[in-house]
Amino acid sequence: METKCWNVDNSVNKDKVYPQIVDAAKILQLGQVVAFPTETVYGLGANAFSDEAVQLIFQAKGRPSDNPLIVHIANNNQLAELVEEIPEGAKKLMEAFWPGPLTIILKSKKQVSKFVTAGLSTVGVRMPDHPVALALIEASGLPIAAPSANTSGKPSPTSAKHVFEDLNGRIAGIVDGGSTGVGLESTVIDCSQEVFTILRPGSITPEMIKKVVSNIEVDPATVKETEAPKSPGMKYKHYAPDAQMHLVNGSMEFIHKLIHNAKSEGKKVGILTTEENINQYKADVVLACGKREDLTTVAASLYDCIRQFNEENVDIIFCESFPYEGIGIAIMNRLWKACGHSIITE
């Protein structure tokens, strides 16, 4: 399959007509799969109502079919097609954070493909805060089911280049709208029950949500192998580099010892740190992932750094830990999964 690429300026107006977006929208209408930018990561989109189209997502990614997909919309009319009811608390969250990186799980009208919901009675919906995404969804006239546009288990793509590396020849097209902003997938909150539950942390933090609604709790965001996850990112290993990665809870001196021991075993060592500590390590590959004093910069460059380790062919990666607060919760969640839950504590 030839993968077509369209370059689109990320300042497009969703109410205007752009030939590239019209072309990509027609491919979606024909039941094919197209990658596109959002403010979080690039999504791999297909018609949410079509079983055949959605199955192409799973085939391209190699994604387990019991992992539900998030449906992306551009207006409230599309929302009405998807869900049975919207609790008052969910309406408040939409008013506060849409368009934006918040996915809200609600009871489904069961019109979407069963492969979108993984057979569950609920569906996750969000309105992305990216002009290219909104313009594409509007032009297609469809709600678009879209997980991250990467091979399943690998780091999510924050640029069209990442998508091309993973999926060239496996999907119909890529809309290149430049680099994404947030860099981490959306926060997911289940609003289908009386008590709202945060299933996946993101840049919309629990503190931000609690200012809007009070009846929430934070789920540990894991499920048993025999259970069906309500949200992406709950069950399987995600975001992982090719090399084994370890999250380190300990001092810089402790990390120096880990580097020394790994090198003495003949391993090529990678370190994931921040700009503040970039010159403190004597490893083979040392990458600065944003600034520790501004964790939004860490979130924005996290997946790109993980992909760089693959290009450097390191054997082992040690990663500094981050404060478990605000967006740091989401960063640590992604690192924990990227490491396959491997944490080394001093």
CA distance 202 to 296: 11
Let me know: does 175 contact 3? Beta carbons within 8 Å.
no
Residue list, annotated binding site for ATP: 63, 67, 148, 156, 200, 239
Residue type, 32: Q
Residue list, annotated binding site for L-threonine: 40, 72, 122, 126, 146, 186
CA distance 315 to 337: 18
Residue list, annotated binding site: 40, 63, 67, 72, 122, 126, 146, 148, 156, 186, 200, 239
Indicate the burial class of 144 (C-beta count within 10 angstroms; 0-12, 13-18, 19 or more): buried
